[in-house]
Structure 1
């Protein structure tokens, strides 16, 4: 079986976050099963030639052209990639598109429909009803068509499925399938020995909807009990927000306890997770964060909000703490109290074991890939290929 994964962007520092990480995780898992899985995407911010493999996955990367800078990731493309897309699609048994309203994944999905190649879409919570005129035009020009005619549309949560269905209403959304994100189980991090200060970690894109300000404003609560605690803010900054977070820490009088380390490579991510005691992601909306899964894969307890897709699993397993998410309020004290609970050695050890077991039992990449392989076999069979 030959599978082509199409995702918008890959950079050395994983600026595009979840969709690219999911595409890579799935492709690696498929290749372990003997499937010829490959990735095509735009490449950007590389020094020198674009790589032809990414984390062991063969990749067709093309230099990103920022033709519509105001639209950020949605406004980048590559004429060279689109010129070759027809040949890549025709050579695949299944095209798996990590879809957004952009100038790469949507055209590839349309090409797959024209070529008659089985098409699987995965939206990662990026497709929902919108009042933006440009986005509505994109829907009319092609997005609704690919959603209606795809052989399978994968969703993480029921809310995501309902949002995608609303985009094409009153037409029905056919062949939907729930597929969770998965990660490779890792060796559990060592238990804290008290020979270093407690470390609290935020590791995700530094953007408004992920509420990094709640991470920073939790610091005074934690430092009142653990004055030696360290706070690490990590991840690509999508604007000036990282500087604003450091300025907020200065206003709160805690600037000496926080460090912004910027984006990290995947190996560095796992190392940083193992060196930490609590992971915090206080997003207002987070469909199914891979970063939370990666934290739990090494047995790192997590603090997440009730509006996250993984929050019910975290709560049921006891893998961390789930707090309220109030978009118009300072949630820092709530987050801080949750961190304090998990810095207790006994509570930390209990949550660490629960997090590690949860990944093995429910969110291992091998289980997800097995289910996805069944989806591929089904769509190929319906096409008679």
Structure 2
């Protein structure tokens, strides 16, 4: 089995999608699947500073970066496509990640020309809110170019049951549900929260509400601002930590949201956190919040839950299983609903802790990269052997 992962970008500034591709590839490679990644040097407003057009070894898989032209996450790389034309026959299957990119569109067409089967992971880009954002451009592009190629995909990999239902309503077939995961060992013992406090001393001795994610319109920070203002008025010791990269220049707009509601001085923007510092932020936090309009299946939600935090997430996060397990507050995509759930957590800390314990148990038991990798390899095997694709549920 030889698999090629294609993704227009893999820099960490693009958030969870990049991390998902790396983690899934690593976990499958650990199971002795031979997987390569090709991508570009796009890096938000900048370019990645690393060798191009040559294989770079990353643990148990290889990745090759190609030069590109890009504006934010709109990326064109004829070098990548030229390489694909020359080398696609060396692979049994192509796994394409994300949508609405010239790199992705051309990859579909190369697969079709050479009759190589391909799997597509939209990473939440077919969710209703995501499609409605910049609607007329996306609808035209999707109906004319993207949808015909999605119909020819051997399988469409979805991250949640609700995402699969939306895809079926579009007339697309062969959905396979395999969720994102976490590495259990990272959450067995979180680091000392003092690591985070030393970096951001204004957060010490506060009740921290943590948001982990890109600074992006879909993340619902316009809702979080008035919600947190309400919470902070009732609980003055609360402090909001917004941890994530700003890859599209949206940060000034977000800061203005909090200025308008009068609580910017109780908010810390950390930029992107990684490694021990991110885990220390989770250890320091009292509550995790995800006010998103739309997600595929949020990595940071899983991380918050695996850390044992009481989590307030919206219906846009696509995690009804957490509500059924009483492992999170799932609220409507409204500022008032977000505020009420945060206040409930702060008002009843013992019940909130019990919910966090249930969240940790749920995630560590069902949502690991090892489990997701096994399921994805089963799908690859079935496709390559031209057998029925197994029905997999999260």
Q: TM-score, normalised by structure 1?
A: 0.84
User: How far apart are residue 96 of structure 1 and its match?
Assistant: 0.9
Is residue 99–residue 106 contact of structure 1 (8 Å, CA) maintained in 2?
no
User: How far apart are residue 33 of structure 1 and its match?
Assistant: 0.6
Confirm whether residue 352 of structure 1 aligns to residue 356 of structure 2.
yes
Deviations 1:50-102 (A, max 9, x none): 48355764211123312xx4xx42x3111211111134422222211114021
Cα 1:135/1:80, change in 2 over 3 Å: farther
Deviations 1:132-178 (A, max 9, x none): 3575356434x3343222221122345433544555x5xxx343222
The SS at the match of 1:287 is: coil
Partner of 1:3: 3
Cα 1:320/1:87, change in 2 over 3 Å: same
How far apart, in 1, do the equivalents of 2:192 and 2:352 lie?
9
Partner of 1:178: 177
Confirm whether residue 367 of structure 1 aligns to residue 371 of structure 2.
yes
Segments of 5+ residues of structure 1 without an aligned counterpart are: none
How far apart, in 2, do the equivalents of 1:239 and 1:99 lie?
17
Cα 1:139/1:87, change in 2 over 3 Å: farther
The SS at the match of 1:322 is: strand
Q: TM-score, normalised by structure 2?
A: 0.82
Partner of 2:382: 378
Partner of 2:305: 296
Q: How does 1:233-272 map to 2 (within 5 A)?
A: 233-265=242-274, 268-272=277-281
Partner of 2:330: 322
Is residue 309–residue 353 contact of structure 2 (8 Å, CA) maintained in 1?
no
Partner of 1:144: 147
Aligned residues: 366
**Which deviates more, 361-370 or 347-356?**
347-356
How far apart, in 2, do the equivalents of 1:260 and 1:285 lie?
22
Confirm whether residue 342 of structure 1 aligns to residue 345 of structure 2.
yes
Confirm whether residue 215 of structure 1 aligns to residue 224 of structure 2.
yes
Partner of 1:41: 39
Confirm whether residue 274 of structure 1 aligns to residue 273 of structure 2.
no
Is residue 25–residue 365 contact of structure 1 (8 Å, CA) maintained in 2?
yes
How far apart, in 2, do the equivalents of 1:325 and 1:96 lie?
32
**Which deviates more, 255-264 or 216-225?**
216-225
